Amino acid sequence: MSSELPSAFAELEKSVTLFSRDGTPLDCNPATEQLLGYGQAEFLRAPLEALIVPHNDLAADDIREYIGMAAETGSASFEWQIQRGNGEPRWVQTTLSPITLEGTQYVIGELQDLTAYKARGRRLQLLYRVLRHNLRNEMNVIQGHAERLDDAIEGDDLTQQVEIIRDTAVEVGELSETVSDLERLVEKDATERERMHAATVVQTVVSEVEERHPDAQMQITIEAEATVSADEGFVLALDHALTNAIEHNENAVPEVGTIVDATDREAIIEISDNGPGIPEIEIDALDTEVTALEHGSGLGLSIIKWCTRSLGGSVDVTATGEGGSTLTIRLPRLD
């Protein structure tokens, strides 16, 4: 009985892995070693859980179920985020099919790197949603209240109608800036990743936000240093998180505290404020893929979520005891 890939697979440029029917990795070709960043011996010793990015939608048991399904039905395919040997996250599509070697059935998996495609695809989808829903909704508000001016001229609410139109026009202008940011993020070079020191990036973004909002009180605490594999989306996510914490804060002096910490597998950035807290309907923007984006901080939350998830990370929002909120960004940590 053989539990090794035929020698012909060693010459393939495609990444190929051999599994037992219960999902145990048995062998891989050199292309898989390059993709995963593990040598063959390391790969075979590592549990399946170690190959999965923390907070991934698929757990190890889900992947084992797919492998068993392929053994029974003849094929299966799924997308997941792997964590390479150096901690870097990569989006991978795995196509499974059964194979018989010396009378014993196994499952063979072909791995295709989708990282750049997924990053641009997610941001394009967000860009289209902003253009389709938010800009259209804002322009409908302007049109509706402009029509009401005809009646308001003879009534008492002329000033109110003008204020609504003026405020909505300001929101349209802000949306235009957001669209420009997203357009930049879907360009190829903007999704190319590089090693970044999380604390250094946070300090840079905080300084830029402080210049735009000199009345805010901002503080940074570095608990642990960590390196991440990130692109310009990481910078934009931090900028929106910090800006939201200030602009949606009604206190005379908005206070924003940022903590940079790390675990063995993740870099963690916590951004806390003394504002009124984020409405539940806008927090729901973190958990939905299809609902139209909300006004206010909901749009910023969606951008933070989509940029962070494209890097293999996650976003959570919790209420603080002082009435504000804490937004936590987690990204896979590089060795």
Residue at which a domain ends, from 61, 96, 113: 113
Sheet holding 15-19, edge to edge: 25-28, 15-19, 104-113, 89-101, 76-83
Q: What single letter denotes the amino acid at residue 326?
A: T
Specify the 3-state DSSP secondary structure of 327: strand
Q: What single letter denotes the amino acid at residue 47?
A: P
Domain that holds residue 265: 193-335
* CATH code at position 287: 3.30.565.10
Spell out the per-residue pLDDT of the chain, length 335, in tens: 456 888 878 888 889 999 988 888 888 889 988 888 888 888 888 888 888 888 777 888 898 899 989 988 888 888 888 888 888 888 888 999 999 888 889 999 999 888 776 766 666 666 666 665 566 666 666 666 666 665 655 555 666 766 776 666 666 656 656 666 666 665 655 567 888 999 999 999 999 999 999 999 999 999 999 999 888 889 988 998 999 889 888 888 999 999 999 999 899 999 999 888 777 766 665 565 444 444 444 567 877 888 888 888 899 888 776 678 899 999 999 87
Q: Please, are residues 111 and 93 in contact by the beta-carbon 8 Å criterion?
A: yes
d(CA 105, CA 281): 50
> How many domains does the chain divide into?
3
In a domain, 1, yes or no: no
Nearest of 19, 5, 16 to residue 67 by alpha carbon:
19
For the whole model, what pTM was predicted?
0.64
Number of H helices, E strands in the chain: 10, 12
Question: Which residues in 41-65 are b (16+ Cβ under 10 Å) and which e?
Answer: eebeeeebeebbbbebeeebeebbe
Q: Please, are residues 127 and 236 in contact by the beta-carbon 8 Å criterion?
A: no
Residue at which a domain ends, from 54, 78, 113: 113
Residue at which a domain ends, from 113, 145, 161: 113
In a domain, 2, yes or no: no
> Which string of DSSP letters, residue by residue, matches 132-200?
IIIIHHHHHHHHHHHHHHHHHTTSS-HHHHHHHHHHHHHHHHHHHHHHHHHHHHTSGGGG--EEEEHHH
Nearest of 80, 133, 74, 69 to residue 99 by alpha carbon:
74
